[in-house]
Each structure stands twice: as C-alpha cells, then as structure tokens.
Amino acid sequence: MHSNLFNQFFRIQTCLLTLLCCVFAGCVWVPTGHESAVVTRAQMQMGTVVKITAVARSESIAQGAATAGFAEIHRLEELLSTWIPTSELSRVNTSAGVMPVSVSPETMTVVQGAIQVAEMTNGGFNIAIGPVVDAWNVIENRRIPTESKLEDLRSLVNLNAVHTDAQKQTIYLEKTGMRIDVGGIGKGYAADQAVMAMKKAGAVAGVVALSGDIKTFGRLPGGRKFPVGIQHPRKEGEVLVFIDLEDEAISTAGDYERFFERDGVRYHHILDPRTLQPARSCQSVTVVAREGIWADGFDTGIFVMGVELGMQLVEALPDVEAIIVDHEGVVHVSSGLRDRIRKP
C-alpha cells in the first residue's frame, strides 16, 4: 500500500484503536482466581496497522498468543493479498481467461463467502470490481473516468464469471482482464482466524484489530465488555457513538476513508457495481456480527444498498446489527443495537 494511503488509513482509525489501547493499559484480570497478564502489540500486515491484545494466565502465554495471532494473519496474507505476486489470488487473477487455479481451503472460504454476501446484498458487494476501482484510482488520479471507459470495463466486473469448484478446490475467472480482490472481506476473515489461533495458544480474552475490522473475544477486568468508538463520518477524530463488544466483530465502511472533492461533489472509493460510480446513499455503515468475515463484507454491501434495503437485510439476519449514517447525516440504528450504543 502506498505511504499516503497508509497514512490516511492510520489517521482515520487512530481514534478507534486508541480507545482500545487505553482500555487495556495496566489491566490485570483474575478470571479463575489467578493473576492474568495483558499484552498489546502492533505490526504492519495486510497493508495496514494490525493491533493485537492478548489476555492470558501469564505474560509468556499472552506474548505467545499475540505472536500466534500475527503469524496467522501473515499466513493468510500470503494466500489472499493481490499485492503479493505469488499469492493464490494473484495467480487466480493472472490466469483469468486461461485456466482454473488450485487454491487452499482458506482462499476458497473467503471467495465463496464473498459471493454469498454479494447475493445477499443484491450485488452491492462485488470482489470483481477491481478493474473499475483501478480506473477511478481515487487517491492518486483524482480524475473522473469517462462513461465510455467505465462501460468498457463493465463486462469484467460480472461476478457470474467467477467460478468456484469446491470439489476440485479451484477458482476460475472467465474473461481475460478480470481481477478479484478480497480486501473488503479478507481482513474480517483474518481477524476471525487470528482469534482462533490466539485461543489455541492459551489466550482467554483479547482483540484483533486490522484497521477498521475488529474481532473481540472474552471480557476485560471486572467482567467488562470491550468498548469501541465508531468514527464520525464528517468530523475527523470525533466519535459518533460507543458500543461494548463481547465475542463479536465490528467493521465500518465510510466515504471519508479515500476520497477527493470536485465542484462540491465527493468522489470516494466505495463504488456501486451497477452504476460503476461512487455509491451515494450513505456516509458510513458499521456492522456488528459474530464473525468478522460477515461484518467486513456486509458493511460495504449495505453501504451500496442504502438505508432502507440495508436495514431490511440486517433485521432479517440473526446476530447481525448495523449503524447507518445516510447521505444527509441521519443516524439509523438496527433494533438489536438501540439499547447498546451510547453517545460520547
């Protein structure tokens, strides 16, 4: 990831991550009658700052659990990152229109999960939209691509041309020039898997935060849940609301992350696969779910769907909640979160 993009991501998420760090500083927890240790570490992985906090019976176990979490994220990055030429997804993309590519169960799980989210969001989430994202190149180009250029790319973003064969464990892209990118769902999956690795290493509680994708497990000292602040989409550095999490994931998609303005119009990176233009219905969407893969995928899909259809979907899904800030700045909260959020 280019340095200017990294800096913008880091600035956007600093408030949220700082809140987590403040909670963990100096904590000692006694869940079973024995003193426990809390370790917080950060690394650059998956093109962003990854922060892991592990709570365990001893500092050595907590350190080991954090190390296990980072190792799992690194392993998945080697499979899923399109920035790594040798990754499985890179090989899938370079073989587009040529042949199917054998992939690991992890890559298959993420791609099939992405296709499922696409179906549930009426195509609002689309991992094949990469060629159009490149045409916009919001951060570097700051230019609006022509309608003809976008239409030339439309056939390449057809998710029906992405074929997964679970029996043969292969993925095939029908057309040359197609490219899939799981950045909008892979970080949530990585957080899920890192938590599993940490538990196996002996952690009894903790948090994995990959930029805006966060997965929590267990509780803090005194039985407290993990407090998280949600970024205000129009007031940089300010918290819109707080929410406490327990064994849950949270992810936010916002038009404030990567954008430029031209003649009073904001052009951002969340594109509507139907119009190939920036989605206009929302300023931000935050999704809370049991698993990070769903929180990560649904936030973008619901952002494209808009408030009405997005909330209908959320209310129909078990263990999925959302906070949607619409294009006018009005905050909409799903029924399962109304008694859980609090203002700063």
**Is residue 134 situated within a structural domain?**
yes
Helix, strand or coil for residue 221? helix
Q: Are strands 331-333 and 101-102 parallel, antiparallel or unpaired?
A: unpaired
46 inside domain? no
User: Among 169, 166, 198, which residue's Cα sits nearest to residue 73?
Assistant: 198
- Find the angle CA(158)-CA(161)-CA(162) to the nearest 5 degrees: 105
Within a domain: 176: yes
* CATH at residue 89: 3.10.520.10
Please give the full DSSP string across 225-252, using - where no structure is assigned: PEEEEEEPSSSTT-EEEEEEESS-EEEE
Q: Between helices 105-120 and 292-305, what is the axis angle to 10°? A: 30
Full pLDDT tens readout for the chain, 344 residues: 333 333 333 333 434 443 443 333 323 333 444 457 899 999 999 989 999 999 999 999 999 999 999 999 999 999 999 999 999 999 999 999 999 999 999 999 999 999 999 999 999 999 999 899 889 887 777 788 999 999 999 999 999 999 999 999 999 999 999 999 999 999 999 999 999 999 999 999 999 999 889 999 998 767 889 999 999 999 999 999 999 999 999 999 999 887 787 778 888 889 999 999 999 999 999 999 999 999 999 999 999 999 999 999 999 999 999 999 999 999 999 999 999 999 98
109 token code pair: 């799980």
The reply to whether 57 falls in a domain is: no
Comparing CA positions, the residue from 219, 201, 174 lying closest to residue 71 is 201
Asked whether the beta carbons of 253 and 299 are under 8 A apart, the reply is yes
Query: In the beta sheet, which residues pair with residue 259?
Result: 268
Number of domains in the chain: 1
Range 220-223, long-range pairs (CB < 8 A, 24+ positions): 220/23, 220/24, 220/27, 220/29, 220/55, 221/27, 221/28, 221/29, 221/30
Distance of alpha carbon 291 from the chain centroid: 11
What is the pLDDT at residue 221? 63
Q: What is the pLDDT, as a whole number, of residue 267? A: 80
Task: Please indicate, yes or no, if residue 204 is contained in any of the structural domains.
Answer: no
What is the full DSSP assignment across 184-216? Answer: HHHHHHHHHHHHHHHHHTT-SEEEEEETTEEEE
Note the pTM of the prediction, 2 decimals.
0.89
How far, in Å, are 246, 320, 322 from residue 335 at the CA level? 18, 10, 9
Domain that includes residue 91, residue range: 71-196+217-344
**∠ CA 283-287-288, rounded to 5°:** 150
Cα-only R_g, the chain: 20
181 inside domain: yes
| Contact between residue 260 and residue 233 where contact means Cβ atoms under 8 Å apart | no
In a domain, 110, yes or no: yes
Domain membership of residue 58 (yes or no) is no
